[in-house]
């Protein structure tokens, strides 16, 4: 199957950029390396990118972008970052960083959870307060730089456990910087409990399945308090995620999801657009680096869906908004005879027109990277900006093409015989060639 391919964006001048990844061996560095190659392939011949590591818990990456020392960084969790714009919470000592912007969100599914050695017989936060065990809890430092440590301590405090309370029980914190360091302290017996994120990793799986740790469900009131005070959202770990007698039911937890690709609002538009284009259009090159893992155990979700990438927790850079939110998207449909039709949809015009995509059972579904075998495209025209006559003309053309596709694949049901003449007309209207 061949399609008319839009010209790739490029920058003629050579550029030197600075990216801030992670400590060196985690996902941010991998993502930065992928983005470096895709960007430099489309920039001037002497273009290069320096990828720098962090030593602390993530704050320095945002500081360096905000100060102009670096051009791009990656941070998680997404829910923590709106406070960076206003200088609240963890970011209060630095003050507001209002010029930070996102190029895209890189969705991933993560949780923050407390788990305890089974010898204590603790199964809930209520048990903790009743028994008052002298626990050594391994977690990340709440030192003003560490995103993980900051969220971890707020989660405990929402359940009534402060440093002072823990020490009054004879307990203590075993503090490190990175997740795998805390997990290792638990594994080798330097700690009795662990409070961490990265629940999809083999480290957590080993603790839960081989060391038989007991997950402690987050309480509804505590999660509601974190939502009210910080905007953080409740989440859960599905039943059976680990092969453990203590995971036969869903485990309430705190959401710790999504990577944000961050820049400053004064990044030149052509650079921001090209970086965003690479993130979205070349996403297959990073997805393949995770496909040896089951999707729910991958630290980066795949397939990456452009519709979700366009919804970061802080505002998009204006050029990124054009590159992510208003991008052409390919959607694969299949009719009853099994022939394929690759439909190129100009999602920007669909988006402006309030288009609705109905999938299979009539439920709304946004166009994404996933290929839905039995899809019908329909539209709802909810009105356009009257001052944009060109946009209206394009929408009218698009509406006609959608009508042709809908009729071409059998309006009223995909199991109806396909009108081959109308299908060919629809194919021509969308500039699509189909294998014969």
DSSP assignment string, 372-403: -SSEEE--------TT-HHHHHHHHHHHHHHH
- Place domain 111-255 in its CATH homologous superfamily: Periplasmic binding protein-like II (3.40.190.10)
The pLDDT score that the predictor gives to residue 388 is 46
Average pLDDT over residues 124-128: 98
The residue ranking higher by pLDDT, 386 or 75, is 75
* Residue 322 pLDDT level (bands cut at 50, 70, 90): confident
User: What residues does each domain of the chain span?
Assistant: 16-107+258-324, 111-255, 327-429
pLDDT digits (tens, 9 = 90+) for 362-411: 333 333 333 222 233 333 333 334 334 544 454 454 444 444 444 333 33
The mean-pLDDT minimum among 21-25, 171-175, 214-218, 404-408 falls in 404-408
Which residues, 6 or more positions from 155, have their beta carbon under 8 angstroms from its beta carbon? 112, 114, 195, 218, 222, 226, 254
Average pLDDT over residues 419-428: 46
The pLDDT score that the predictor gives to residue 429 is 41
The mean-pLDDT minimum among 1-5, 30-34, 114-118 falls in 1-5
Task: Supply the DSSP string of 255-304, one letter for each residue.
Answer: E---EEEEEETTS-HHHHHHHHHHHHHTTHHHHTTTTTS-GGG-SS-SSP
The pLDDT score that the predictor gives to residue 354 is 38
The pLDDT score that the predictor gives to residue 400 is 46
Query: Do the domains spanning 16-107+258-324 and 111-255 agree at the CATH topology level?
Result: yes
Average pLDDT over residues 321-344: 41
The mean-pLDDT minimum among 95-109, 176-190, 253-267, 389-403 falls in 389-403
The CATH code for residues 16-107+258-324 is 3.40.190.10
User: Are β-strands 111-116 and 193-196 bridged in parallel, bridged antiparallel, or unpaired?
Assistant: antiparallel
CA distance 32 to 377: 36
User: Are β-strands 363-364 and 375-377 bridged in parallel, bridged antiparallel, or unpaired?
Assistant: unpaired
Average pLDDT over residues 79-97: 97
With a cut of 80, say whether residue 102 has pLDDT above it: yes
Question: SS3 of 330, please?
Answer: strand
Average pLDDT over residues 87-100: 97
pLDDT digits (tens, 9 = 90+) for 286-308: 999 999 999 999 999 999 999 99
The pLDDT score that the predictor gives to residue 412 is 38
With a cut of 60, say whether residue 145 has pLDDT above it: yes
The pLDDT score that the predictor gives to residue 406 is 40
Q: Which two tokens stand for residue 367?
A: 């166009």
């Amino acid at each position: 199957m061949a399609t008319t391919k839009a010209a790739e964006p490029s920058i003629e001048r050579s550029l030197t950029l600075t990216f801030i990844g992670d400590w060196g061996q985690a996902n941010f560095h991998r993502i930065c390396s992928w983005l470096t190659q895709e960007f430099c392939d489309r920039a001037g011949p002497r273009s290069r990118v320096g990828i720098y590591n962090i030593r602390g818990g993530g704050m320095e990456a945002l500081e360096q972008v905000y100060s102009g020392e670096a051009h791009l960084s990656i941070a998680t969790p997404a829910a923590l970052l709106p406070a960076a714009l206003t200088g609240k919470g963890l970011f209060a000592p630095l003050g507001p960083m209002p010029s930070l912007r996102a190029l895209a969100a890189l969705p991933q599914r993560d949780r923050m959870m407390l788990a305890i050695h089974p010898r204590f017989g603790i199964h809930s936060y209520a048990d903790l307060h009743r028994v008052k065990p002298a626990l050594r809890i391994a977690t990340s430092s709440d030192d003003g730089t560490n995103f993980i440590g900051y969220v971890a301590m707020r989660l405990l405090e929402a359940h009534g456990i402060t440093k002072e309370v823990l020490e009054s029980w004879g307990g203590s914190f075993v503090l490190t910087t990175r997740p795998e360091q805390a997990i290792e302290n638990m594994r080798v017996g330097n700690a009795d409990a662990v409070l961490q994120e990265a629940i999809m990793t083999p480290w957590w799986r080993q603790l839960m399945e081989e060391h038989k740790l007991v997950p402690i469900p987050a309480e509804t009131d505590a999660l509601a308090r974190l939502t009210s005070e910080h905007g953080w959202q409740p989440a859960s770990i599905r039943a059976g995620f680990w092969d453990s007698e203590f995971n036969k039911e869903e485990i309430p937890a705190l959401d710790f999801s999504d990577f944000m690709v961050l820049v400053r609002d004064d990044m030149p538009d052509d650079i921001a657009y090209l970086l965003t284009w690479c993130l979205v259009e070349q996403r297959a090159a990073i997805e393949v680096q995770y496909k040896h893992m089951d999707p729910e155990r991958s630290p980066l979700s795949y397939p990456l869906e452009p519709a979700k990438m366009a919804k970061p927790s802080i505002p998009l850079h204006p050029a990124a908004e054009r590159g992510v939110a208003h991008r052409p998207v390919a959607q694969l449909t299949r009719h009853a005879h099994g022939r394929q039709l690759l439909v190129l949809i100009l999602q920007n015009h669909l988006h402006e027109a309030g288009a609705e995509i109905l999938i299979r059972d009539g439920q709304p579904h946004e166009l994404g990277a996933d290929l839905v075998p039995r899809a019908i495209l329909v539209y709802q025209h909810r009105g356009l900006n009257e001052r944009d006559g060109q946009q209206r003309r394009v929408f009218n053309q698009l509406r006609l093409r959608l009508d042709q596709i809908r009729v071409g694949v059998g309006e009223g049901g995909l199991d109806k015989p396909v009108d081959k003449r109308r299908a060919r007309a629809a194919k021509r209207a969308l500039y699509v060639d189909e294998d014969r």
